Amino acid sequence: MKDKSYLTNIEYINDIFEQYLSDSSVIDSSWRYFFDGFTLNSDNESLTLENVPKEELEDIYNEFKVLNLIDDYRKRGHLFTETNPVRKRRHYSPTLDIENYGLQKEHLTKKFKAASEIGLPVSTLDTIINHLKQTYCRSIGVEYMYIRTPDIIRWFKQKMEPIKNEPQLTITDKKRIYSDLVRATFFEQFLHKKFIGQKRFSLEGVDAIIPTLNFAADYASDKGVEEIVLGMSHRGRLTVLANFIEKPIDELFQEYVGKSYDDESILGDVKYHLGFNNIRVSNNGKKLFVSLLPNPSHLETVAPVALGFAKARINKKHQRNFDKLLPIVIHGDAAIAAQGIVYETAQMSQLEGYGVGGTIHIVLNNQVGFTTNYTEGRSSTYSTDVAKITQSPVFHVNADDPEALVYVTQLAIEFRQTFHRDVYIDILGYRKYGHNEGDEPRFTQPTLYKAIEQHPNVRQLYYEKLVQEFPSIANELKTIEQNYSSKLQQAYDNALQMPIVKVKHFLHEEWEKYRHATQTDFELNINTSVNEDLLRKLAIQLNTLPQDKTFFSKTIKILNERIQLINNNKVDWALAEQLAFATLLNEQHAVRISGQDSERGTFSHRHSALVVEDTDEKYYPLKNISSTQAPFYVYNSLLSEYGVLGFEYGYSLASPNDLTIWEAQFGDFHNVGQVIIDQYLSSAKDKWSLMSGLTLFLPHGYEGQGPEHSSARIERFLILAANDNMILANLTTPANLFHLLRRQVKAPFR
């Protein structure tokens, strides 16, 4: 328990009281609320704490003890919640027992003015504690008091405490929740019966994610969202595809029973890795475009890819308006706690080049990773403790309370739309089977799985709750079950009649004018030429600085040398790149380049952002070509390869008509992001029929800097190059660079 010795220090309290009398705005709100009540009951204008009778002074001390109790419920209440459906919570000390605050049982019936701190009138301590328990210690635990922005702290208090974190749902809402739970549980059970022995990575145990997502979509639409981008790994993915993305169920079943693909170029992948786009209609009648990104088996790899995709859509489709697109990333508890890519992605969240206006992170917390207990899988208290590095709030919610989940998700969306910050929702549930349906979990977690075996699923629990609350709707709920069962059987019968699996290409409308490369394309002569007069004009314009700004003398020298080059009919590497970018921008192709030190360039060659002398202002020549040019983006990335390369790959998926570049500080360093190269760049074409125009800059050379700066590990790319999946180019002249960059955009294939 933190030190509270100041409660008996009359001088300390009197100093704060004098500050209150002088200017109440400078002291903490908890003291201010108390002193408001203290002075309200006194007509003595010269009142000080030193002349207060002993009995009243004791009351003052007790008021502060109650204020500290309230403060600790806000800070530590999440440690004492009822959020775990199948396990007892770990013991945390000290508890929130009143004795730890110098209060006794006789105080429970005593009334305290401190109740005003949580929006209550003068109330008994018992009433205050019940209010706090309902708000912070039931099915919902909240971590937010570490956030350093007072407005956010105040916002959460005002949203949660007046209603005690109790969902405000109509009977129609509750029937919708039940319908979603039926769809989630019946879909999983149908797969289990019809496709015996096949892996599906069941959602069972966290089934309530389906009403959570569906209510989230409707609420987001009400808040002005027009698009949702979703990234998730395999757990529960099929159910999400069927019951949130609304992929036709017969097509999902077809992937189990089909014999071949209608696109012969696809080698295929397991069905729980596939992506999908769709338009769903929200309750308010508005259309909502939803995308689920394809993902490999590498857990969490899809997170930066999804956010890069979202960033591109925000820039291109929504005029950089964060409020129009909502990114959601669904994690597993073991993965979010241990995968380094999670930290890299989190650190992007507030950076200009990578921020997407806040992401809703949802953790499907099974309390186990494959066979590893959660106590063996992390050192942190929670799997979501990474949220604290960006001061993001965290909700911990019992997976057996779908109403609480719906409420929390709506609150999370409102927070995101208000503050454009990340928010995390930790759904405490379980995994009904092993890591997959053929795995035996009792080898390693016998006691846990004994509890799970005896535990009714959330649909059954919610059915009993609704029938008890509304006895007259029992038959209606049974009808919902029967109708969905019939729908599943009909979809299965349809799938049996369709032996050829249909492939709906991801983001088809954006990519319809492009195609996969063929062998002859690598010999194709693509026109990448530009009128010489235009090149000269652009070169001089880009390297002539505005007269009303002062620049570093060495910067001026570099730009003057470029003008001399063009006047002498020559170009160097930097000028060739600059002209390639400029001509593409002039032809309405956006250019984005990001990497470590990309603005200046690792080798001090690019100078795309020129700092105005003695200021922090930057001038970007490539952003000042004309009023009608396409956007130019250049960013110094955080010190990350894996996360940033994944982000830029995702960005390229939504930008087929643009030039998207990831630049390694040294080419050899790409091996830190090897997962993206292996699982996406080299193989996404064969697995998912996915196209990308991402360009990698991998500078290297034998210049005495040792083996880790010398080769760009070209042999790795040579091994991965197959089936016309990539272009590898070791350039020898600036002209090569100019034409190759333009060819990357002008080619009809990707």
Domain definitions of the chain by residue range: 5-160, 171-504, 519-746
Q: What is the pLDDT of residue 15?
A: 77
What amino acid is encoded at 95 in this protein?
Answer: T
Distance, in Å, from the CA atom of 647 to the CA atom of 645, rounded to the nearest integer, reads 5
- DSSP state string for 619-668: E-GGG-S-TTSPPEEEEEPPS-SHHHHHHHHHHHHT-TTSEEEEE-SSGG
What percent helix, strand, coil does the chain show, rounded to 5? 50, 10, 40
Distance, in Å, from the CA atom of 513 to the CA atom of 436, rounded to the nearest integer, reads 40
- Tens-place pLDDT, residues 425-478: 999 999 999 888 878 999 999 999 999 999 999 999 999 999 999 999 999 999
The answer to whether 5-160 and 519-746 have equal CATH topology is no
Q: Which two tokens stand for residue 656?
A: 């087929």
Average pLDDT estimate for 597-604: 94
Average pLDDT estimate for 412-421: 98
Bond before 94 cis per omega within 30 degrees: yes
| Across 162-176, 300-314, 454-468, 499-513, least confident range | 499-513
Residue 5 pLDDT class (50, 70, 90 cuts): low
pLDDT reading at 40 higher than 60: no
Residue 1 pLDDT class (50, 70, 90 cuts): very low
Q: What is the pLDDT of residue 710?
A: 83
Distance, in Å, from the CA atom of 78 to the CA atom of 210, rounded to the nearest integer, reads 24
Q: What is the pLDDT of residue 265?
A: 63
* Cβ–Cβ < 8 Å for 491, 238: no
What amino acid is encoded at 172 in this protein?
Answer: T
pLDDT reading at 2 higher than 70: no
Distance, in Å, from the CA atom of 199 to the CA atom of 273, rounded to the nearest integer, reads 12
Strand 695-697 relative to strand 659-663, pairing? parallel
Q: Which two tokens stand for residue 261?
A: 């693909």
Distance, in Å, from the CA atom of 554 to the CA atom of 54, rounded to the nearest integer, reads 75
- For all residues of the chain together, what is the average pLDDT? 93
* Cβ–Cβ < 8 Å for 156, 77: no
pLDDT reading at 46 higher than 60: no
Terminal-to-terminal C-alpha distance of the chain: 61
Phi (first) and psi of residue 445, to 5 degrees: -130, 60
C-alpha triplet 419, 425, 430: angle, nearest 5°: 175
Instruction: Give the DSSP letter of residue 353.
Output: T
Residue 43 pLDDT class (50, 70, 90 cuts): low
Distance, in Å, from the CA atom of 265 to the CA atom of 725, rounded to the nearest integer, reads 12
Q: Alpha helices of 274-421 — where are they, by DSSP H?
A: 302-317, 333-338, 340-348, 374-377, 402-419
Average pLDDT estimate for 250-275: 80
Q: What is the pLDDT of residue 9?
A: 59
CATH assignment of 171-504, given 3.40.50.970, 3.30.300.30, 3.40.50.300, 3.10.20.310?
3.40.50.970
Structure-model confidence comparison of residues 146 and 61, the more confident one = 146
Q: What is the pLDDT of residue 261?
A: 73
Q: Which two tokens stand for residue 655?
A: 């930008």
The HSE-up count of residue 374 (CA atoms within 13 Å, CB side) is: 21
List the CATH code of the domain at 519-746.
Answer: 3.40.50.12470
For the whole model, what pTM was predicted?
0.93
Distance, in Å, from the CA atom of 556 to the CA atom of 551, rounded to the nearest integer, reads 7
Q: What is the pLDDT of residue 3?
A: 54
- Mapping DSSP onto H, E and C, the string for 424-450 reads EEEEECCCCCCCCCCCCHHHCCHHHHH
Average pLDDT estimate for 132-138: 98
Residue 573 pLDDT class (50, 70, 90 cuts): very high
Length of the chain: 750
Distance, in Å, from the CA atom of 326 to the CA atom of 213, rounded to the nearest integer, reads 12
Q: What is the pLDDT of residue 264?
A: 67
Largest CA distance in the chain: 96
Q: What is the pLDDT of residue 25?
A: 80
Distance, in Å, from the CA atom of 201 to the CA atom of 23, rounded to the nearest integer, reads 60
| Across 125-129, 502-506, 536-540, least confident range | 502-506
- Tens-place pLDDT, residues 60-118: 889 999 999 999 999 999 999 999 999 999 999 999 999 999 999 999 999 999 999 99
- Tens-place pLDDT, residues 342-386: 999 999 999 999 999 999 999 999 999 999 999 999 999 999 999
Instruction: Give the DSSP letter of residue 677.
Output: I
CATH assignment of 5-160, given 1.25.40.10, 3.40.50.300, 1.10.260.40, 1.10.287.1150?
1.10.287.1150
Q: Which two tokens stand for residue 166?
A: 């109790």
Average pLDDT estimate for 256-263: 78
Distance, in Å, from the CA atom of 626 to the CA atom of 623, rounded to the nearest integer, reads 8
Average pLDDT estimate for 117-129: 97
